Chain A
Amino acid sequence: MSALALVGCSGSTDSEKAATDDHGHDHSENNDHGDHDDHGDHAHDEITYKIGVIAKSNSNPVFLAAKNGAFAAGNRLTEELDGATVEILWQTPSMEDAQLQAQYVEQLVASGVDGIAISCTDANLLTNALKAAVDKGVIVVTFDSDAPDSGRMAYYGVDDFQAGKEVMRQLAKVMGNQGKVAVLTGNPAATNLQARVNGVVEQAAEYEGIETPMVYSFMPETATEAAAKMQQVQTANPDITGWALVGGWPLYTDNALDGIYENAKIVSMDPLPLPLEYAMKGQVQVLVGQPYFGWGEKSVEMIVDKLHFDRSPASSMVYADFDIVTSEDAEEFAKGWKLWLGED
């Protein structure tokens, strides 16, 4: 029987007092020795939780928001948890590269991290690396893009199918539930985009006045390719009165919607700074947003919850709500981006 190195403990914080497990147990229950240790020592002198955060690319502003969210959560939790420090290690390829992400996972595990939050560029390629991390006792949470067979504790993000439905719901509203709809998608083989397109098509079927939408894809996924595709389709089909964009690609160029917005209502995913300008100009009616800041913030929170309180989320699929941004509130939403991008 090994002897215990007994070294006292300190008082609990608000956060710790509030800690409960999935069944509502108080994790600090019976901790009636919390404040009366005369020696004033700690069970651990200082716990440091090292959490690696791996997004898809450093060049995409949505992941910059996720990065700031992760660091904000780390700083806040360090203040809230007495005797614990949350250290964030940001490891993200400059461009999307699944193999490099897998290498980062392995390097982070070798460097002794306690948790990893990751947006998977390719689930197939990352599954083995994440499995190996989980097998070595690392808590893994995926955000934005999941790797469901990796053994990760949880996924945080939107349901892509529901996102597609929400885009169509908003589009139908601004179209008065009637008209001809076109769907713009990028890589037709991307599973998340397929799910969004399916959501749009299924939701469209609920409106009698809306024809079954035509789906148009383009490759490579660049802003200019997307804008050109929309222009070509609209010119060839002037009777299109609504566009459902399951990604915001064309809205990263100027004047992408000239000749289109005059004839059709447009609802798009991703209210990023540039697309928001289209909304402010009234050329895009609604933007459906994902929790970009929350990708980093919530993922880190979930990992620390598990590490510090042994508390898992109630479900392994933690779905976030959508942000609905209209022309009226686009300016206000743009101010939020300044905070997320650390410009304030």
Chain B
Amino acid sequence: MTKAKNAPPKNPNPPLLKRLLAHQESGLVLVIILIMALLSLYGVLTPPIKQKTLIKLHENATIVRLDTQGNEHEFLAANKIAGYRVTLDGQTTEYSSNTIERYDSADRTLIQVRSVNRFFNKSNLVLIATNASFFAIIAVGMTGVIILAGIDLSVGSIYGLCAIVGAMVLTNLPPETGWYIAVPLALLTCMTVGTICGFANGAMSEGLSVHPFVITLGMMAILRGLTVVIPQGLFGTQSIGGFPTSFTTGFFKAEFYGVYPVLVIIMILTAIAGWFVLSKTVFGRRVFAIGGNETAAKYAGIPVKKVKILVYTITGALCGLSACIYLGYYGAAETNAGNAYELQVIAATVIGGASLMGGRGTVIGAVLGAIIIQLINNTLIIFSVDTSYNQIVMGAAIIIAVVIDQTKQRIQARRA
């Protein structure tokens, strides 16, 4: 009693920094900033990398290679070339080999180079986010599933099946089909297939009262089988391509300032939508309530089964969305699409702070978890580490992330 009386009163409005650090995602953001800072520093301390731009020569232009004395040569080994002399309509332009890396006589193209930091350049940064987007979008749904203390092992297979069915629709569209038809049609197809699969997962798990681990494990095998059998039976092939370009380079792989940002934008929008649903709606609060204590949630009048089925259905739909952007970005689907994706998705969610015991997790954390996984991949590439080590590093990262998170939880619980 005396102690309580003497204790300073709690500040109802702690400083902004303290509030930010109290957020579950703050640790992840710090980790990302730290990794990026170290990689950028490494990029500064090591020789820069070359980014290339192609300059197509005019058909009437002539070009010769110049040696160090300024003598012209039709052919010259690359390390002897000091520059290039291009002549067009009597006008001569000379390019130094410092800026022109080489001349490709087959394509009549000059390859211009500029030096950039090997990590901190826009192509690399957008690429990291792009590669994360495929499973980050699914991780948004998986966060809800894990908060419910459930699991969905079939997300990779749903993704694969959605991609194959979407590809079957797209490959039958005329090549000149506009994006305003191809994109909605593909989204509708992929997300419908995903929604049906997700609903089946939830309905079977709840209807048959079987643990979702078993149901989704079975669905993983069934859907993967369909992903292999359907294209073989109908097309006699392992992969389906040949989509309208308006769907691929015209939309999902549209280039802006040398990068392909559409997938990143879709990932951000999905994350915002997921965050809003889970933290600002009644439905979201019900998900947390069920994950925290299912029995209490039942007694509180929450329609537990309905909410659970809906969460699995949304996860399936997000698999469809991810499959659709995969089709648009790569321009094809193969039977192996999404194989072992469930592990990456669950890893991203867990690194993002979700508890497999249920009741805890954030969408933003899951997306940040996916970005951390891709940052680790990128780090290994920058350091030229053999890809065989990727899985070892990834496994270690998951364990470290969970141990740190649980330690943090224990400390917070003790303080409380």
Residues on A facing B (Cβ under 8 Å): 1-10, 12, 16, 19, 21, 25-31, 33-34, 37, 41-44, 47, 58, 81-84, 89-99, 102-104, 106-112, 114, 121-125, 127-129, 135-138, 153, 187-191, 219, 306-310, 312
Contacts and interface: CB of A to CB of B under 8 A. Distances in A.
Contacts of B50: 112, 114
Contacts of B334: 98-99, 121-122, 124-125
A16 B76 CA distance: 9
Contacts of A135: 54
24 contacts: A4-B70, A4-B94, A29-B73, A29-B75, A31-B80, A44-B79, A58-B387, A94-B390, A99-B326, A99-B334, A103-B131, A107-B378, A121-B336, A122-B334, A124-B239, A125-B330, A125-B332, A127-B331, A128-B329, A137-B109, A190-B238, A307-B78, A309-B77, A310-B78
B109 A5 contact: no
A3 B96 contact: yes
Contacts of B79: 9-10, 42-44, 47, 81-84, 308
A310 B390 contact: no
Query: Max chain B CB contacts within 10 Å: which of A125, A190, A306?
Result: A125
A4 B83 contact: yes
A187 B74 CA distance: 50
Interface string B333-357: 1101101100000000000000000
Given A5-B98, A44-B78, A110-B124, A33 B68 contact: yes
Contacts of A2: 93-96, 99
B307 interface: no
Contact of A124 (B68, B228, B240, B249): B240
B46 to A, nearest CB: 12
B118 A99 contact: no
- What does DSSP make chain B's interface, helix, strand, loop or mixed? mixed
B409 interface: no
B406 interface: no
A336 B168 CA distance: 46
B106 interface: yes
B68 A107 contact: no
B330 A102 contact: yes
Contacts of B384: 89
Interface stretch (B229-237, B268-276, B280-288): B229-237
Given A190-B238, A310-B102, A124 B81 contact: no
Contact of B67 (A9, A92, A110, A124): A9
Given A31-B67, A137-B52, A107 B75 contact: no
Interface string B368-397: 000000000110011010111011000000
Interface size grouping (class) on chain B: 35 or more
B254 interface: no
B68 A7 contact: yes
B160 to A, nearest CB: 10
Given A128-B253, A309-B75, A1 B92 contact: yes
Contacts of B231: 189
Nearest to B99: A2
B82 A5 contact: yes
A337 B165 CA distance: 43
Query: Max chain A CB contacts within 10 Å: which of B70, B79, B240, B391?
Result: B79
- What does DSSP make chain A's interface, helix, strand, loop or mixed? loop
A34 B81 CA distance: 11
A8 B68 contact: yes
Contacts of B333: 125
A122 B330 CA distance: 11
A65 to B, nearest CB: 16
A125 B68 contact: no
A173 B65 CA distance: 55
Contact of A43 (B75, B81, B236, B337): B81
Contacts of A89: 381, 384
A153 B109 CA distance: 14
Contacts of A189: 231-232, 236-238
A110 B130 CA distance: 13
Contacts of B127: 106-107, 110
Given A2-B96, A9-B80, A44-B97, A125 B70 contact: no
Interface in B91-116: 92-99, 101-106, 109, 111, 116
B109 A84 contact: no
A3 B248 CA distance: 42
Given A31-B73, A106-B127, A122 B238 contact: yes
B51 interface: yes
B33 interface: no
A136 B52 contact: yes
Contacts of A12: 77, 80
Contacts of B404: none
B325 interface: no
Contacts of B76: 27-28, 31
A206 B387 CA distance: 47
A311 to B, nearest CB: 8
Given A4-B66, A111-B49, A310-B105, A28 B77 contact: yes
Contact of A110 (B101, B123, B241, B388): B123
B387 A6 contact: no
A96 B336 contact: yes
B69 interface: yes
B330 A43 contact: no
Contacts of B118: 111-112
Contacts of B130: 106
Given A97-B339, A106-B127, A112-B51, A5 B78 contact: no
A308 B131 CA distance: 33
B11 interface: no
A127 B96 contact: no
Given A1-B93, A128-B332, A310-B105, 16 more contacts: A7-B82, A9-B67, A10-B80, A27-B76, A31-B76, A106-B130, A107-B381, A111-B381, A114-B50, A122-B332, A125-B330, A125-B331, A137-B52, A188-B232, A309-B77, A310-B103
A94 B92 contact: no
Contacts of B62: none
B330 A30 contact: no
